[in-house]
Chain A
Amino acid sequence: MDILVCIKQVPETSKVEVDPVTGVLKRDGVDSKMNPYDLYALETALRIREKVGGTVKVISMGPPQASEVIKEAYMMGADEGVLLSDRKFAGADVLATSYTISQGVRQMGNIDLILCGKQTTDGDTAQVGPEMAEYLGMPHIANVIKIEAIKASSMVVEMDMPNTIELAEIKFPCLLTVEKDIYQPRLPSYKKKLETKDREVKVLSFKDFEDQNEKRYGLNGSPTQVERIFPPAVNTDKEIWNGSGAELAERLTAKLKELKFA
């Protein structure tokens, strides 16, 4: 079975803050890592390969340095990786991102199953997977918590709903987004690191795609526009209490009584 996992490089720290006075973004450190939720998708792919054989490929869209996450995927056991990178992809919102990745997927040969993480820690929309499935014309199931069975032309999975768990069979080719905890992700192996040291990361750019309409990529292919960014609102109707631990506890006790919570 040929499996493709979508992985993204995200900033290590979530500490992007706006200076409330100047409105300028403050950034400390740009260390990056693989989106933690994508580790579960990759682990799921590796487990399926162990069971039924096949290949595990990974794909990522991002700046040139995002090839690091593909290397990381090699260290966990992925066979092949592609990075989609081009200035023309800059400024992409969900629609343009999923379209770009779907164009990349079309260059990757036969794929039976695409796995995505539940969401990213920077974009945090959980939308890229389902939008890609639409562009690739395949069915998808989101929030998969368990792989029950892999059959010749379909698989059986459990999907997590708020009050129920649904067991569903889905035909290949299809796309799944997997929940955290579906499997415990393995650590990158040193042995694999040595083995895959020279394995190439194939880079595809706009010129390699079928659709050569620039208007569908990057900012031009993004219907949403960020009009402004600003720090969150401050609640002005408030009291600040200072004092010793004992004083504060007394005041809080009294307040809770007053509000009838204690």
Chain B
Amino acid sequence: MGRLVVNQDKVNAANIDELVKICPFGAIENNGGKIEVNAACKMCKLCVKKGPTGVMEFVEEEVEEIDKSAWNGVAVYVDHVDGDIHPVTFELIGKARELADKVKHPVYAVFVGHNIADKAKEMLHYGVDEVFVYDHEELKDFRIEPYTAALEAFINKVKPSTLLVGATTIGRSLAPRIAARFKTGLTADCTVLDMKDNTDLVQIRPAFGGNIMAQIINPNNRPQLATVRYKVMNAPARMAVAAGKITVCEMAADKLISAINVLKVTEKEVEASISDAEVIVAVGRGIKSEKDLAMVKELADLIGAQLAVTRPLIEAGWADAKRQIGLSGRTVKPKLIITCGISGAVQFTAGMNNSDCIVAINQDSRASIFNVAHYGIVGDLYEVLPRLISNIKEGKAIA
């Protein structure tokens, strides 16, 4: 905590423009030779670090420090619909174990629903020390008030240092609610998590709507909350023997009341999702017209791949939003992904850079996609793809 102080006496005609320009958010204004910081400031402190020496200063304010040792354990919210556990849960348990081991904390799971006792046992095969179960009829469907109340009860009872939540539809609705209730920080869609010795969770995510990663901490609040998307972390293998225990918790009746009534749940038609694809051909704005997608689709079909796209193609209406890879689309982790005409913006790569093998075709040798690619092919997709397609069709292989 702290604030920015402008040392106006050090501002002069020579450095004022430099300072205004250094702020990526346009928060520094030149008001008749004086510097003004407006509400767009994100406190990234770049002006302090990179600006003219001594002009911008960051002054720490004294804050009362919380007792971090009163908060113990890395907890995972068990994401499920009607007892059907979302696989992101196991990925988070794997991560939680890794983080917890660094500070010798236990790993907890919190499971909220109805008739879930059997399912809770399953968690014990993945390395959880204790599963806290909140099982009431009113918790059958996800409704925000009773679910938040259950998590509140869990946090007050257990005092976990960290709570990890899957960035699913439910998780993205529930985690912010809990964060606001405990007036604590929440970092969305983390791509890397680590643990400091002092139990501060290191959270890394793409940020500021640009090609930047931000490392975020929550140094003086507990619990610390983070959401992580499916397929970003690795799920541990299921162990044959179960270890750990299950604790069933009670909730007061008045905590189960909701202003929401779920009237009907309709199953959607299941369709092959790019999230589960083993091979993906992804295409971006390098493609010149909608009809050229047929060529890319042909390649995808030939190698048994799913077709995926970048966001501009969705915005152009060329493909269904379910096929978008990236921060605001799906995260994928296939064995092979071939990107064609994709520049490699961090919002895109955040959704695919954990893939086993990345092949990128782009005619611009400086494209940032080549930073993540294993095989970077500097070339025109309109020259490479048709020949690749005919080669594969002919079954030709030249070593």
Residues of A within 8 A of B (CB): 10-11, 14-18, 22-25, 27, 30, 61-64, 85-87, 89-91, 93-95, 98-99, 119, 121-135, 138-143, 156, 159-171, 174, 180, 219-220, 222-235, 237-246, 248-259, 261-262
Is B372 engaged at the interface, CB distance under 8 Å to the other chain? yes
* Least CB distance, B277 to chain A, in whole angstroms: 12
> Across the interface, which residues of B come within 8 angstroms of A87, CB to CB?
37-39
On whether the beta carbons of B180 and A17 are closer than 8 Å, the reply is no
On whether the beta carbons of A252 and B39 are closer than 8 Å, the reply is no
Instruction: For A91, give the chain B residue with the smallest CB separation.
Output: B43
* Least CB distance, B360 to chain A, in whole angstroms: 9
Instruction: For A20, give the chain B residue with the smallest CB separation.
Output: B371
On whether the beta carbons of A127 and B175 are closer than 8 Å, the reply is yes
Residue in contact with A245 in the complex, picked from B23, B267, B349, B380, CB distance below 8 Å = B380
CA distance A30 to B186 in the complex (A): 28
CA distance A242 to B43 in the complex (A): 43
> Across the interface, which residues of B come within 8 angstroms of A234, CB to CB?
371-372
Given contact pairs A119-B328, A231-B211, A241 touches B378 in the complex (Cβ within 8 A): yes
Residue in contact with A240 in the complex, picked from B43, B304, B347, B378, CB distance below 8 Å = B378
> Across the interface, which residues of B come within 8 angstroms of A138, CB to CB?
259
Interface size on B, residues (CB 8 A): 120
On whether the beta carbons of A130 and B40 are closer than 8 Å, the reply is no
On whether the beta carbons of A90 and B336 are closer than 8 Å, the reply is no
On whether the beta carbons of A134 and B176 are closer than 8 Å, the reply is yes
* Least CB distance, A187 to chain B, in whole angstroms: 16
CA distance A239 to B358 in the complex (A): 11
Instruction: For A220, give the chain B residue with the smallest CB separation.
Output: B1
* Least CB distance, B15 to chain A, in whole angstroms: 15
On whether the beta carbons of B173 and A238 are closer than 8 Å, the reply is no
> Across the interface, which residues of B come within 8 angstroms of A227, CB to CB?
202, 215-217
Contact with A along B240-260 (1 / 0, CB 8 A): 000000000000000000111
On whether the beta carbons of B50 and A127 are closer than 8 Å, the reply is no
> Across the interface, which residues of A come within 8 angstroms of B358, CB to CB?
235
> Across the interface, which residues of A come within 8 angstroms of B45, CB to CB?
226
Contact with A along B18-57 (1 / 0, CB 8 A): 0001111011000000000111111111100010000000
On whether the beta carbons of B378 and A95 are closer than 8 Å, the reply is no
> Across the interface, which residues of A come within 8 angstroms of B265, CB to CB?
164-167
CA distance A232 to B344 in the complex (A): 11
Is B157 engaged at the interface, CB distance under 8 Å to the other chain? no
On whether the beta carbons of A161 and B169 are closer than 8 Å, the reply is yes
* Least CB distance, A239 to chain B, in whole angstroms: 5
Given contact pairs A124-B328, A245-B387, A253-B397, A226 touches B38 in the complex (Cβ within 8 A): no
